[in-house]
Structure 1
Amino acid sequence: MSSKVTTDESARFVVKNVGGIDETTVELPPGITVLAGRNATNRTSFLQAIMATMGSERVSLKGDADEGHVELELGDELYTRTLTRTGGGVSTSGDPFLDDDADVADLFAFLLGNNEARRAVTQNVDLREIIMRPVDTDAIHRNISELETEKSRLDDRIDELQALKRDLPELETERTRLREELDAKREELAAKEAEIDDHSSDVDESREEKRELEAKLDELRDRRAALETVRSDIDLEQESIESLTREQRELEDELADLDDDTDETDGNIDHRIDQLRERKQRLSSEVSELQNVLKFNEEMLEDGAVTATLSSENDSGVDSGAVTDKLVDDDTVVCWTCGSNVDRENIEGTLDQLRALRKEKLSTVRDIEDDLSELRAQKKKREKKRKRAETLRAKRRRVEDELDRREETLSEKREKRDELGEEVEALEETVDSLESEDFGEILDLHKEANELEFELRRLESSLESVESDITDIEEELAEERRLDDERERIADELTDLRTRIEQIETQAISEFNEHMDAVLGILEYANIERIWIERVERRVREGRRKVDKAAFELHIVRSTESGTTYEDTVDHLSESEQEVTGLIFALAGYLVHDLYETVPFMLLDSLEAIDSDRIARLVDYLSDYAEFLVVALLPEDAQAIENEDARVSEI
């Protein structure tokens, strides 16, 4: 048994002007409550009052009243609902028990005679559509799309980090090589400086000439270093220009591949969407009005018309027994719109036409929703393409600006290189003029030392650049674990969303088949071996195209006296068997959508087609799944209920 809403408190209802009730107060304890009485004794009206406090709109106001009111006192909480007659029907207000699950409760918890889920089995209605109706499949698909986008972003980022990780060993190798080369150069420079010191101590020269020569050598060394730096900068600028030029070409190629859509086409799509929305709203309003008309007339046909016939006959002084005979013989009712006697068959035929019209309009609404989805997808795709084009153009402008700046910098660097080259040549000539046989060897040593110092600075700069790249990569790789965890979470959520609809379908089928087997065993129908649902794929038209769509197929397996089994159809089930099958289908929906956690009441009515003993066993079975099970029964059927917690005979 599933967990459910539990309370030890009784539920106290105060009802005024609902259905056929003038005013009443009824207290129900948890468990099974039997509303025992004949037809037209306000049992269905009281069930509607319970539905009203839960938040249902399927409630009728008393015919001669302008306002009705229902209160539910449950524990320390008070829930209210007011019904007010307006020009267009009946409006509701108040503070009901349910905030947003009332439609689901109407389908699977409030199982009155005209309950849609209960009747779906015998009316050739799409059983899967009934079960899946409370599931917002569009929201699930939107979530899937958003998560797929996020997962794609994470995948790209993780791929970038993997590429950086592959670069790291090469950078670390380069760092080791540079450090070793630096150490070797430092040792070589130290040796060269020691050699210069040795030669300087042996040379007897003019201090003034020596200072001038050393100054020129220092200046020459600085100019050469500056010249090499400028040359390196020129190489870097040229590499950057080549890279930016490639990027510019790629951006232009991608822009060329994008269609240059116009705002006029978008305007046409928006106009078409507005038209379809207006049409859908109009059709939905018509469907709602048809539903209200159907509900009102079904309720009047079930309770009101019979009461009206009885009242009119008794008022004229005719014996009540004769009236009953007349009802049985003629099967006529007093029309609640014109007051004349009308065959029940004619009214039911009209209601069938209204149901067919409602079904046709609902089908049109679904086609419109398909068209709207397709148009929205087109609009979204075009908007995405337009945004991408805008992003590419902005990026291209930035690349072009950067190219212009780099070209200008390159020109400046080249001018600087030429200037330094000329200065180096002039300094070399000056040094050559100062050289003598005595200073020739030491000058060569100084030149070599200058070159070693320049090489040291170049190596140090390269090492700093490599170490900076390694630090940046290590900092970026620090988020890899977090990104992997986030990607795994999104992947799990995507898997759950992609299978959620199928999970709900599978659970619904499992619940129905399991409980149907159990109930058939309890109720002991003689020649029914099994009633079960199978999920199948069918080719259906959806809008203007054909698609494969899941459906629930109901199977009935019977057996003969000789033990042979064969598959039968719903039409060949007895009325009792049909009623039980419909109730178990509704129970499957009740369990799949977890109504036992949010709706404390399950309501049953119109069980006359099932014999008393089976009603008692069925009620006992269903009582495990709701805190309050309220059942409307005829007196003779009510006598079979042995484990009831309360019985209400007058309302």
Structure 2
Amino acid sequence: MTWNIDIERIAGILDGSATIAPGVNVVRGSNWQGKSSFIEAIKTALGTSTELTEGAESGTVHLETPTGVYDVALTRENGTVARRGEPYLSDEYDVTRAELFACLDERNEVRRAVRAGENLEDVLLRPLDFQNIDAQIETLQREREQIETELTQAREAKKRIPSVQEKVTRLENEIEDLQAKRETIDSEAGSDDSSESVRRQLSQARTEQNQAQNRVERLEQSIERTEQRLSERQDDLDALEIPEYNDVADKLSEARESLSQVERDAEVLQSVYSATEMVLSEDRLDLLTEVERDIDEDTVACWTCGSETTRADLADRLDALGSELTALRAQKETYRDTVEELETQREEISQARQRKADLEEDIAELKTTLADRKQSLDAARSRLEKAQGDVERLSDHVDAAVAELSDVESEIKYREAELEDTADELAQLETRAGRVDTLETDLESLRDDLAELRGRKDRLKREAREAFDTAMQDILSRFGTGFETARLTADFDIVVARDGQEASLDALSEGELELIGFVAALAGRQSFDVGDAVPLLLVDGLGGLDDDNLHTLIEYLQQGTEYLVFTAYPEYTAFDGREIDPTRWTVANEKQASAD
């Protein structure tokens, strides 16, 4: 169950190898011994990194796992690094999930966003960009319409089975009665060769007449049904109305641009507000400008324009900035609602246009079918007319007994042909009706899939926030943090509470921010089932945590992954797990030192 990795010229490791065992794996070493480079090498094997050793033209990673062997080669080409071979992860969706929620080094986007105090919606929901949810919904909608049509036909077939079965039984009984009648006629009346020949001809002519008559009737019924379906489709087309929303695409583009602009403005204003609030709350105006202390009130020089002002004026201006920030947030929600409404209008227009195209296609097919069947009806009527003439001509040459026998035999053949057609129809109906349960199950599954896809983003947002809250409560129960709790808002902003009031992230320590960053990453890991794609969790850059907190964090992280690999300095006490010795590797700084 171990992972074995061989490394050549990746990041700072020129040559090295290691074994990763289930559970905790710690790479303990000082600076420049390749700890972080080892994490980069594993990321290269996973497919989330392409970091070559500085100055090297190529590098390789060979990874053996219980599920397969993976070789990745990196080469420097035209100033960029190209990857060849087969990494552990090849699907872009899996790569994105692992990069965000399994590779938790200092470069991790989730940890970085938390440290910077940024909104987390984009980074936590980024894997959704690679799932093409809208395209999947369109495909499932087409499949649903097809299954609904087939299900309607299958249910109709199920209703018709009893009547068709009754017709089969009736025809079988009629044939038995006709066969008995023919035997009676044969025994009561003799026949010579000449009359036998005429009788056969008459029987064949009447059979042909009956078959032609049956053919004409079926075609007339088929034409009537086709004309009815054509009329229904034409009525549906005439009644169809395509919603008239003016300039939806332009309005949607304009609304998205406005939303983006408001979000950028809010982000800029938030940065100014947070910085000014911190300077005032920490009473550190002297870091930015000269402060003239006075008994009544301190006077300061504005650090942007140089004009003289007071601390109270600055506080009032800060309150005004806060009000403006609140207004921008409300405006952002308004634009977001507008974007959603315009997207709904665009989808309604698309569906109506698709429905129109489908109806027009059905109408064209029905018209072609109708023309073909009318042509076949003309041919069948000509055939019937000829058969009727033959019957009339031959009937004049037979006596009453021969005519009666011919009638019986002709009727037998007609009934046998009708029985064969009806039996075939019954078999087709039973086959089609037998699919009702399967089609109903498939339809229900498609509806569930559609509902899941349509609500996937909202569900994932909800799950991510719930996972964040759960993990945060677990973290707070293990660590002595300076804040009481932290949560994700509906807009995916991090809100921290201290002493019962909202506090700024800037006031948190480096270690506290790192803990929140890990909580956010683990929330994404749970929401997107990252453990199903890669049973590995990589952790680096934990220098901001003391020995007790690092051990506590590692104990917590190992509960959620099969393989945990992290880096630590020698001064940390021993961990309960496998230690990977970096001194066995050849690293880039050793080669440079020997050359000096």
TM (normalized to structure 2)?
A: 0.61
The aligned counterpart of 2:480 is 524
Q: Is the 8 A contact 1:612 1:640 kept in 2?
A: yes
Q: 1:568-583 alignment to 2 at 5 Å?
A: 570=505, 573-583=508-518
Alpha-carbon deviation of 1:630? 2.1
Q: Is structure 2 residue 102 aligned with structure 1 residue 109? A: yes
Decide which of 118, 143, 146 is 1:153's aligned counterpart. 146
CA distance in structure 1 between the aligned counterparts of 2:430 and 2:120, rounded to whole angstroms: 52
Give the AA of the match of 2:2: T
Decide which of 113, 120, 125 is 1:127's aligned counterpart. 120
Q: Is the 8 A contact 1:144 1:494 kept in 2?
A: no
Alpha-carbon deviation of 1:469? 1.2
Q: Is the 8 A contact 2:52 2:58 kept in 1?
A: no
CA distance in structure 1 between the aligned counterparts of 2:416 and 2:64, rounded to whole angstroms: 78
Q: Is structure 2 residue 452 aligned with structure 1 residue 499? A: yes
Listed one character per residue, the Cα deviations across residues 320-375 of structure 1 (whole Å, up to 9, x for unaligned) are: xxxxxxxxx99xxxxxxxxxxxxxxxxxxxxxxxxxxxxxxxxxxxxxxx999999
The aligned counterpart of 2:415 is 462
Give the AA of the match of 2:566: V
Bigger CA radius of gyration? 1
Of 463-472 and 217-226, deviating more is 217-226
Listed one character per residue, the Cα deviations across residues 132-180 of structure 1 (whole Å, up to 9, x for unaligned) are: 3234664455445444434543443343333333323223333444455
The aligned counterpart of 2:375 is 404
Q: Is structure 2 residue 2 aligned with structure 1 residue 7? A: yes
The aligned counterpart of 1:417 is 388
The aligned counterpart of 1:233 is 212
Q: 1:206-355 alignment to 2 at 5 Å?
A: 226=205, 230=209, 233-234=212-213, 236-237=215-216, 240-241=219-220, 243-244=222-223, 247=226, 251=230, 254=233
CA distance in structure 1 between the aligned counterparts of 2:61 and 2:234, rounded to whole angstroms: 66
**Pair 1:526–1:404, CA change in 2 (3 A):** closer
Give the AA of the match of 1:7: T
Alpha-carbon deviation of 1:116? 0.8
SS in 2 for 1:630: strand
SS in 2 for 1:466: helix
Give the AA of the match of 1:646: E
Q: Is the 8 A contact 1:605 1:631 kept in 2?
A: yes
Q: Is the 8 A contact 1:238 1:410 kept in 2?
A: no
Pairs aligned (count): 476
Give the AA of the match of 1:413: L
Listed one character per residue, the Cα deviations across residues 533-554 of structure 1 (whole Å, up to 9, x for unaligned) are: 47x5xxxxxxxxxxxxxx6565
The aligned counterpart of 2:261 is none
Give the AA of the match of 2:530: D
SS in 1 for 2:481: coil
Q: Is the 8 A contact 2:469 2:487 kept in 1?
A: yes
Q: RMSD value over aligned CA atoms?
A: 5.2
Q: Is there any run of 5+ residues in structure 1 with no aligned partner, and where?
A: 1-5, 201-209, 260-271, 277-328, 331-369, 432-445, 537-550
Q: Is structure 2 residue 47 aligned with structure 1 residue 55? A: yes
Q: Is the 8 A contact 1:104 1:134 kept in 2?
A: yes
Q: Is the 8 A contact 1:32 1:623 kept in 2?
A: no
Give the AA of the match of 2:418: S
Listed one character per residue, the Cα deviations across residues 441-497 of structure 1 (whole Å, up to 9, x for unaligned) are: xxxxx7488447625642662354135413442355246546633652564365256
Decide which of 147, 154, 157 is 1:164's aligned counterpart. 157
The aligned counterpart of 2:81 is 91
Q: Is the 8 A contact 1:533 1:552 kept in 2?
A: yes
Alpha-carbon deviation of 1:617? 1.4
**Pair 1:397–1:94, CA change in 2 (3 A):** closer
Q: 1:129-208 alignment to 2 at 5 Å?
A: 129-135=122-128, 138-180=131-173
Q: Is the 8 A contact 1:171 1:466 kept in 2?
A: no
Give the AA of the match of 1:92: A
Q: Is the 8 A contact 2:220 2:377 kept in 1?
A: yes
Q: Is there any run of 5+ residues in structure 2 with no aligned partner, and where?
A: 239-248, 254-286, 289-340, 588-596
Q: Is the 8 A contact 1:555 1:567 kept in 2?
A: yes
**Pair 1:630–1:68, CA change in 2 (3 A):** farther
Q: Is the 8 A contact 2:100 2:521 kept in 1?
A: yes
SS in 1 for 2:127: coil
Q: Is structure 2 residue 547 aligned with structure 1 residue 615? A: no
The aligned counterpart of 2:271 is none
